[in-house]
Chains A and B, each alone.
Chain A
Amino acid sequence: MPADGGIGAPNKRREDVRFLTGKGRYTDDINMRGQAYVWFLRSNVAHGRITSIDTAAAAAMPGVIRVFTGADFEGVGSIPCGWQVTDRHGEPMQEPAHPVLAQGKVRHVGDPIAAVVAETAEQARDAVEAIEVEIEELPAVVDMKAALEEGAPKVHDDLTSNLCYDWGFVEENREAVNKAFDEAAHVTTLELRNQRLVANPMEPRVAIGDYAAHNDESTLYTTSQNPHVIRLLMGAFVLGIPEHKLRVVAPDVGGGFGSKIFHYAEEAFCTFAAKQLKRPVKWTSTRSEAFMTDAHGRDHVTKIELALDKDNNFTALRTETYANMGAYLSTFAPSVPTWLHGTLMAGNYRTPLIYVNVKAVFTNTVPVDAYRGAGRPEATYQLERVIDKAARELGVDPIALRRQNFVTEFPYATPVAVEYDTGDYVATMDKLEEIADLAGFEKRLEESKASGKLRGLGVNCYIEACGIAPSHLVGQLGARAGLYESATVRVNATGGLVVMTGSHSHGQGHETAFPQVVAEMIGIDPNMIEIVHGDTANTPMGMGTYGSRSLAVGGSAIVRATEKIIAKARKIAAHLMEASEGDIELKDGQFTVAGTDKSVAWGDVTLAAYVPHNYPLEDIEPGLEETAFYDPNNFTYPAGAYACEVEVDPETGKVTIERFAAADDFGNIVNPMIVSGQVHGGLGQGIGQALLEQAVYDENGQLLTGSYMDYAMPRADDVPFYAIDHSCATPCTHNPLGVKGCGEAGAIGSPPAVVNAVVDALQRAGRNVTHIDMPLSPSRVWEAMNQ
């Protein structure tokens, strides 16, 4: 294999070889000696009181080792929430307990009631069938507004209502915003739903608990995006295991998209049961269980209003959102509709006054938490839809209206508490017009007409806050954790390096991209560098991967640790060449004395560090290993402009995506191949949301979309080739790589483009349609066309 490049090179992914040959090591591929299997009895009703559980028959079944119920978990902690939101009135949110196994009540279909541990998975499953449980079914609440009505059934008896919090942002702006609306020349109003989605990484969740009696150490193997976070939450809050007695390993993980950030009951169960039974205990989720236990995403109902002056300048924005929390507060759930949503409502525009109100509501549904984009797709969707509607009401070009209101000077302090460091929204829009060939739209429109199809064009912008996040800031906002990242760089005597990162790769290609950074800094082949991640036993305390943070925060930690390595290596090189440290230069893996032909190679220095015979021992320690923790001082702000062209079949309402173009500004780029892949994947999910996906509950809280038979996942023939570009780069000003993050952009930016395009197609065809809620299924589009 030829030597790979450093920063900016499209290196092929080294992890691919094992994945392509069936040698990946996912959690379910791990089997331990003496391993037992658990199967859970889950509630089949959305809300009810458990009146009796009889496990005797199950316990007598072949192979059954033990049956656990909620009673076994009395005294065990509640699954914690990692973020406390303070409401409009200065009061903390309502925070219910979340037991590992149900205590007295079940609150959503899928809530675990009991668990059987047996010699085989089949025996455990059979025995679950023999558990006799009686549940007094209670009325369920599914609809958020109904859940807030007087006398609505309460999901949690010990809370005052189903309202988690009523949040206002920025509360001090409320009256000024109202006044701006009173004075507006034009107000556009839109009510919409950002529907409930299921993240659906292709690998279902798996947990294996193990207990070593000889040193009283518990180990959890789990499908997690952030093993240290799980160790902290589960160890400190649920099971009471000190961190030095608990190891969490997340090996190859088959996608996450947010749903594998959170600490789940099954992880705590397997760790707990393994210690009780002194045997490894394994749980592998079925896809059906995943649908009713993995945290869902989105599920906002919003009314948004945009005020404009007589010259079509945006003067104010006002929103009222109901955000579904589900039955319990998942790990980061309260932050999603608030700090990851309200802070993005300025979008790419100079709207001076903004007020966001969010009412978070408990319902008898699966908990809702972060899903790719988390809060930012919801913000982008409502903002870009209302702008499009305003343009159509005012009879102005939607692109021109956007351009007129763009933020053009940076840094820019928004009225919603964040400061954009860099960006060039005009450049990304120009680039979009080029790569989407908007000039050719009219011709394509005629071609569609000729074939009896309705063609439409939808354009939108997006901005997101990534590189999550400055600890001092999120601490003020209610986070119960810091959001730095860590790296240890260990240089071996013979010159190779191991980078131990707190970031976690579950498809992002860290094993390929991170070495490019270190290789660039030292001037060596990236293949000399190995990445270790996913094991709390051999990586420094890190916060994991989500929020497009791995390169911006984790990569920055790697840079800082490598800088320390280079600084020390220069001292060693100076000693070896009997030169002044200030005269030492490092290039292409060679240390030279400036202005001379004296040089030592990287390997000479690393060897000297570990065989310190000729070494400045009086000044520095032997060895070459450094750790850095990097805490960002701002978010990063990737932004872009997206265009979608659709054809609508007027006979059936079926929408096809004919063209999709995305022009993104991600700042500097380390591996453009990987960045493109991230955008493609995000677009696939965003188009899936726009056209296909929705988690549906009936009024009794039964999940109607519980498998791939009912939940429409995007397939290869639902999407086109995407035209993408990320050449409009304004580097981030506050991290050492100048990177912004690219993981969520596609999912954030694409749904409004699709919906705008369908509305455009219908309006061009003379239909008075101003909005259709996602997903734009043929039946919904047909009904809108024929209302």
Chain B
Amino acid sequence: MAQVSMTVNGTPVSGEVEGRTLLSTFLRDTLELTGTHVGCDTGQCGACTIHVNGASVKSCNMFALEADGAAVTTIEGMANADGSLGTIQQAFQDHHGLQCGFCTPGMVMTAAALLEENPKPTEAEIRSYLSGNLCRCTGYHNIVKAILAASGQEVAKEFAA
């Protein structure tokens, strides 16, 4: 076992981990930040997406020890300071961009990374950027809409249903 320390959502944290402990496991089991979900074991589904030092990362593809000293943001750190939903979160609710909610934390974290890189993405750019995040409920329609809306863009009226 080894000691690991990092900042998560602005709070310094530390814990004991094995060399093989995944960052996702450390977040969920040690820190009890269960908003980060694990939906696969091959780095494909993206439900565990978080930000490490500002970059979008699949936390199941990183050992906890690799994040030693890093600044980590998870879904629990995405609301506004007053506790209200952040812009992307609010857009997901407004546009029904989630159903079962399991992929949602990863979708929100990926959307945030996209809008940081590309504040006004096209529909095609959004779809391409989301290709590492699987959703089985929404058919992606309302997720794409929510991200367009979060970036301040209009959704074509014929697809507004």
Asked if residues B140 and A20 are in contact (CB atoms below 8 Å), the reply is: no
Q: Mark A1-44, 1 if CB is under 8 A from B, else 0.
A: 00000000000110111111111111011010000000000000
B130 engages A16 (CB within 8 Å): no
- Chain B residue with Cβ nearest A200: B136
Q: Which of A253, A257, A717 has the most CB of B within 10 A?
A: A717
* B161 → chain A closest CB, angstroms: 5
- Interface positions, chain A 383-435, Cβ under 8 Å from B, are 435
A723 to B40 alpha-carbon distance, docked (Å): 31
Contact of A22 among B36, B44, B98 (CB under 8 A): B36
Q: Is the CB of B34 within 8 A of A721?
A: no
With contact pairs A680-B142, A724-B161 given, residues A20 and B136 touching in the complex (Cβ less than 8 Å): no
Residues of A within 8 A of B100 (CB): 19, 201-203, 252-255, 506-507
Q: A471 at interface (Cβ–Cβ under 8 A)?
A: no
B39 touches A202 (CB 8 A): yes
Indicate whether A681 reaches chain B with its CB closer than 8 angstroms: yes
A749 at interface, CB cutoff 8 A:
no
Give the docked Cα–Cα distance between A18 and B34 (Å): 12
Complex CA gap A687/B130 in Å reads: 18
Q: Mark B126-161, 1 if CB is under 8 A from A, else 0.
A: 111011011111111111100000000000101101
Among B42-74, those with CB < 8 Å from A are 42, 44-45, 47, 74
Does more than half of chain B's interface fall in helix, strand or loop, or is it mixed? Answer: loop
Bound together, the chains give a CA A220 to CA B158 distance in angstroms of 46
Bound complex: CA of A201 vs CA of B137, how far in Å? Answer: 8
Q: Is B123 an interface residue (CB 8 A)?
A: yes
- Mask, B77-93, CB within 8 Å of A = 1, is 01100000100010011
**Cross-chain contact B123 with A721 (CB below 8 angstroms):** yes
Contact of A715 with B139 in the complex, beta carbons under 8 Å: no
- Interface size classification for chain B: 35 or more
> B128 touching A204 by the CB < 8 A rule?
no
Complex Cα distance A24/B47, Å? 14
If A287-B45, A708-B40 touch, whether A19 touches B98 (CB-CB below 8 Å) is: yes
- Would you call B131 and A716 a contact (CB within 8 A)? yes
A746 within 8 A of B: yes
Closest to B77 in A: A22
Interface 1/0 per residue, A712-725 and B, CB below 8 Å: 01111101011111
Q: Check A716 against B140 for contact (C-beta < 8 Å).
A: yes
- Would you call B89 and A21 a contact (CB within 8 A)? yes
Query: Are B78's CB and A21's CB within 8 A?
Result: yes
Find the A residue at minimum CB distance from B91: A20
Q: Does B103 contact A (CB under 8 A)?
A: yes
Does any Cβ of B come within 8 Å of A677's Cβ? yes
How far is it, in angstroms, between the C-alpha of A26 and the C-alpha of B103 when the chains are bound? 12
Task: Spell out A's residues near B (CB within 8 Å).
Answer: 12-13, 15-26, 28-29, 31, 122, 200-204, 252-255, 257, 286-288, 435, 506-509, 672-674, 676-677, 680-685, 687, 707-709, 713-717, 719, 721-725, 746
Q: A19-B104, A717-B127 are in contact. List 4 more A-B contacts (CB 8 A).
A: A13-B98, A20-B93, A673-B96, A683-B139
Q: Which 4 A-B pairs have the closest CB atoms?
A: A22-B35, A684-B139, A19-B101, A254-B102
